[in-house]
Amino acid sequence: MVSDIVENPSSLSPSPSPVATGAPRLLDLVRERLRLKHYSVRTEKAYLGWIRRYIIHHGRRHPANMGRREVEAFLTSLAVERDVSAATQGQALSAILFLYREVLEQPLPWLDEVTRAKRPARLPSVLLRAEVQRLIAAADDPLNLIVSLLH
């Protein structure tokens, strides 16, 4: 065993990094593909940020070695632990789908186990006809004309 190390000293060194071998890094590949498809600079920055957070969330594992479970776990953690909005979670999902579909060329099956962030309830901002009439009637003379015109 010691003779193997002496005869082959490279067996002690760790595997070469992508930089040392000249292979492009993953985020550089993502950036290149985003630019090739003419995505905006802001989208590029956002997607790279989400992909970086996804990788860090899973202990810096390469996304090619991860799949559906890891994507679902990350997106669910955004909604449950970080309490992000539905739009933010959707942007993270878009970034990860771009990574897998466009860069790694690995289709992801439908992600139905993801806990989705809740969308805020939208209340209508329209008054009923009777409410508008009461509002105008309650306003004094110079104001009721203004309120009528605004309505």
pLDDT 10s digits, 96-119: 999 998 999 988 776 656 666 776
> Can you tell me the mean pLDDT for 67-78?
90
Give the rounded percent of residues in the chain with a pLDDT score beyond 70.
Answer: 75
Q: Which CATH architecture has domain 16-103?
A: Orthogonal Bundle (1.10)
3-class DSSP assignment, residue 18: helix
Dihedral, CA of residue 112, residue 100, residue 14 and residue 18, to nearest 10? -160
Helix then strand then coil, in percent of the chain rounded to 5, is: 65, 0, 35
C-alpha span between 4 and 7 (Å, rounded): 5
Task: Decide if 56 contacts 70 (C-beta within 8 A).
Answer: no
